[in-house]
C-alpha cells in the first residue's frame, strides 16, 4: 500500500472534514426495489435524487511505454477522462413508483430515469436514459414475478440503491468485473485511426438487465430468507438482446433480524409502519440485521468486429458475502470470482483514443475473452455521533490470474466520512490510497513503471433525496 506525502495529505483532509452518520441499516434490496406495499404507496409517488461531486488526483502522467508522458486513464476524473480534477453532476435521477390501486393492489411498478453525467448517459447518444422500468405481479404466494428492466440479483455493492451507498467510488473488483461495459471487439488489433478505436457501444450495465425474475421472502423465527431466479438478455440496458442467449441469475440471502426489526410479514403485502418514502433517503430501512448471501450469474457475450475477437464467449460471475448493522456498527465483506470475458483496461494505461508517441497506433479499450479473476473487500463503519459516521474499506482485485504475464493486482484503502444534514441529505468525503502492480514482472518492467504512477484520489459528494 502506498504510504507517502499524498497519503499524509489525505489523512489530514479526511480528519479535517469528519464532522455524522445516518442509520442506513442492512436492507433486503429485492424487497425494497421489487415490491410496493399498497398501504405505503398508492397509485403514484414521485421521487429522485441528485449527486453533485468533486474528484481529484495529482494527475501523474504515464511513466513508460508507447504513451509515456500522456494522461494516465486511471488518474483522470470520471466520466470524461479529460482532467485529473473537476466538478460533476454524477447522478440526477427522477422516477415514479406505486401500485395499480384501485384496479389491482397486487400489481406495482417502478420507473426511474437518469439525467446525470456518467457511464449510462455518456454512451449511446449522450442523453438521458431510462435505468428502471418494471412491473411486479404479487398474485402468487411465494413467487412474485417482476418483468422489465431492473437491477439484477448479485453483489451487495451493485444490488443496493446507489443513494444509500456508503462510499463515492466502487471497489476495484466491482468496477472492473461486475460493472459491465459492452464492446463490438476485444481491442486486440492495432488501430491506426481514432475512428476505429474499440469503444463501448452503449451504456454501462449499471448492474441492470432486461428480463423476468421470480422472487420472494419468508420468515422463520428471527430469520428472513430471500430467493431470486432471473432470466435476462445479458446485453445491458436500453436495448434488446444481440445473440439469442439468455443470462441466468440466482440469489439467496438469510438475514437474522435483531430486536426492533420490522420486515414485511411473510407472504403478505402489508407494509411495516417504518416502510415509507423516508427509507429512500440516506438512512435506509429502520431495522437492524446480520445478512449472509450468495449469488451466481452466467451467460454468453458476442463480439462482432472481424479481426478484433469476433465470436461468442462465456461470462460467469459468482460470490458470497455478509453485511451487519447493529447499534453503532456497520460492517460488510464479500468475495467473488469472474471467469470468461473480463474488461481489461486500455493500451499502455492511456485514455482510449489517444495516439501513441510514435504516431503509429491509438489506445483501445481491451477485453480479455477467456480470463479469470477474483476480488474481495472488507468494510467497516462506526457511528461516533448521531450525525457522523466514519468509514474504512479495504479491497483487492487479482485480474488475469490464469496468465503470469498479464496478471495485475489492484489494492485500495478508502477512508471516509458521512455527515447527515437530515434523513434525506448528506455529505460524503473519501480519500483512497490506491496502488497496482504486475506481480510477476520486474519492478523496472514497463507495466510496473506505468502502474507506479497510479495516484491516490480524494472525492467529495453531496446527496439530496426528494
* pLDDT tens readout for residues 172-209: 999 999 999 999 999 999 999 999 999 999 999 999 99
Closest CA to 194 of 368, 364, 70: 364
Mean of pLDDT values over 2-12: 43
Mean of pLDDT values over 360-379: 97
State how far the Cα of 405 lies from the Cα of 368, in Å rounded to an integer: 13
For residue 383 the three cell numbers come to 457511528
pTM of the model: 0.89
* 251 touches 295 (CB < 8 A): yes
pLDDT at position 270 is 29
pLDDT at position 18 is 31
- Listed in sequence order, the residues at least 6 apart from 126 whose beta carbon sits closer than 8 Å to its beta carbon are none
In 10 A of CB 202, how many CB atoms? 18
**CA 52 from centre of chain:** 17
State how far the Cα of 26 lies from the Cα of 255, in Å rounded to an integer: 9
Beta bridge partners of 209: 150
Half-sphere exposure of 322 (CA within 13 A, CB side): 7
Task: Give the rounded percent of residues in the chain with a pLDDT score beyond 70.
Answer: 87
pLDDT score of 360 more than 90:
yes
pLDDT score of 258 more than 90:
no
State how far the Cα of 466 lies from the Cα of 446, in Å rounded to an integer: 49
3-class DSSP assignment, residue 35:
coil
Q: Which residues of 34-43 are buried (b: 16+ CB within 10 A; e: fewer)?
A: bbbbbebbee
Which tens digits make up the pLDDT trace of 428-461? 999 999 999 999 999 999 999 999 999 999 999 9
pLDDT at position 101 is 78
CATH code linked to domain 5-465: 2.40.160.10
Burial category of 300 from C-beta neighbours within 10 Å (exposed 0-12, middle 13-18, buried 19 and up)? middle
Helix, strand, coil shares of the chain as percentages rounded to 5? 10, 45, 40
State how far the Cα of 321 lies from the Cα of 161, in Å rounded to an integer: 17
The DSSP 8-state label assigned to residue 61 in this structure reads: B
Mean of pLDDT values over 377-397: 97
Half-sphere exposure of 281 (CA within 13 A, CB side): 20
Task: Give the rounded percent of residues in the chain with a pLDDT score beyond 90.
Answer: 82
State how far the Cα of 307 lies from the Cα of 194, in Å rounded to an integer: 17
pLDDT score of 47 more than 70:
yes
Question: CA-based Rg of the chain, rounded to a whole angstrom?
Answer: 22
Which of the pair, 205 or 267, is modelled with greater confidence?
A: 205
Which tens digits make up the pLDDT trace of 274-285? 333 333 344 444
Mean of pLDDT values over 70-75: 98
pLDDT at position 267 is 36
pLDDT at position 260 is 54
pLDDT score of 10 more than 70:
no
pLDDT score of 286 more than 90:
no
In the chain, where are the structural domains located? Answer: 5-465
Mean of pLDDT values over 348-358: 97
* 124 touches 102 (CB < 8 A): no
Amino acid at each position: 500500500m502506498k504510504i507517502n506525502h499524498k497519503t499524509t495529505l489525505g489523512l489530514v483532509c479526511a480528519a479535517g472534514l469528519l464532522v455524522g452518520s445516518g442509520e442506513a441499516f442492512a436492507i433486503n434490496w429485492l424487497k425494497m426495489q421489487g415490491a410496493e406495499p399498497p398501504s405505503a404507496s398508492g397509485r403514484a409517488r414521485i421521487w429522485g435524487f441528485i449527486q453533485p461531486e468533486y474528484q481529484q488526483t495529482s494527475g501523474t502522467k504515464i511513466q513508460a511505454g508507447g504513451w509515456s508522458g500522456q494522461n494516465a486513464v486511471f488518474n483522470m476524473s470520471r466520466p470524461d477522462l479529460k482532467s485529473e480534477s473537476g466538478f460533476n453532476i454524477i447522478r440526477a435521477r427522477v422516477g415514479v413508483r406505486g401500485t395499480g390501486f384501485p384496479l389491482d393492489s397486487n400489481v406495482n411498478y417502478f420507473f426511474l430515469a437518469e439525467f446525470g453525467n456518467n457511464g449510462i448517459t455518456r454512451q449511446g447518444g449522450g442523453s438521458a436514459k431510462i435505468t428502471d422500468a418494471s412491473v411486479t405481479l404479487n398474485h402468487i404466494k411465494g413467487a412474485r414475478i417482476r418483468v422489465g428492466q431492473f437491477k439484477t440479483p448479485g453483489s451487495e455493492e451493485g444490488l443496493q440503491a446507489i443513494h444509500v451507498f456508503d462510499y463515492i467510488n466502487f471497489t476495484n473488483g466491482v468496477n472492473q468485473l461486475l460493472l459491465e461495459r459492452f464492446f463490438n471487439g476485444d481491442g486486440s488489433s492495432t488501430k491506426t485511426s481514432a475512428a476505429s478505436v474499440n469503444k463501448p457501444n452503449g451504456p454501462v450495465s449499471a448492474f441492470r438487465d432486461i428480463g423476468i425474475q421470480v422472487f420472494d421472502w419468508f420468515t422463520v423465527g428471527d430469520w428472513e430468507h430471500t430467493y431470486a431466479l432471473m432470466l435476462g438478455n445479458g446485453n445491458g440496458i436500453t436495448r434488446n438482446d444481440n445473440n439469442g442467449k439468455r443470462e441466468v441469475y440466482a440469489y439467496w440471502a438469510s438475514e437474522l433480524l435483531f430486536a426492533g426489526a420490522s420486515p414485511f410479514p411473510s407472504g403478505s403485502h402489508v407494509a411495516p409502519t417504518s416502510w415509507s418514502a423516508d427509507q429512500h433517503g440516506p438512512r435506509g430501512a429502520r431495522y437492524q440485521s446480520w445478512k449472509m448471501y450468495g449469488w451466481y450469474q452466467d451467460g454468453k457475450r458476442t463480439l462482432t468486429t472481424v479481426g478484433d475477437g469476433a465470436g461468442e464467449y462465456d461470462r460467469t460471475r459468482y460470490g458470497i458475502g455478509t453485511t451487519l448493522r447493529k447499534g453503532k456498527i456497520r460492517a460488510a465483506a464479500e468475495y467473488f470470482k469472474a471467469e470468461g470475458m473480463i474488461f481489461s483496461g486500455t493500451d499502455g494505461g492511456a485514455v482510449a483514443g489517444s495516439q501513441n508517441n510514435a504516431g503509429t497506433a491509438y489506445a483501445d479499450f481491451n477485453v480479455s475473452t477467456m480470463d479469470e479473476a477474483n476480488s474481495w473487500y472488507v468494510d467497516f463503519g462506526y457511528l461516533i455521533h448521531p450525525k457522523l459516521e466514519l468509514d474504512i474499506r479495504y479491497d483487492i482485485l487479482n485480474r488475469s490470474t490464469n496468465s503470469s504475464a498479464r496478471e495485475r493486482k489492484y489494492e485500495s484503502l478508502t477512508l471516509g466520512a458521512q455527515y447527515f444534514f437530515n434523513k434525506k441529505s448528506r455529505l460524503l468525503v473519501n480519500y483512497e490510497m490506491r496502488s497496482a502492480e504486475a506481480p510477476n514482472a520486474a519492478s523496472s518492467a514497463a507495466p510496473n513503471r506505468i502502474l507506479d504512477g497510479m495516484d491516490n484520489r480524494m472525492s467529495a459528494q453531496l446527496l439530496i433525496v426528494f
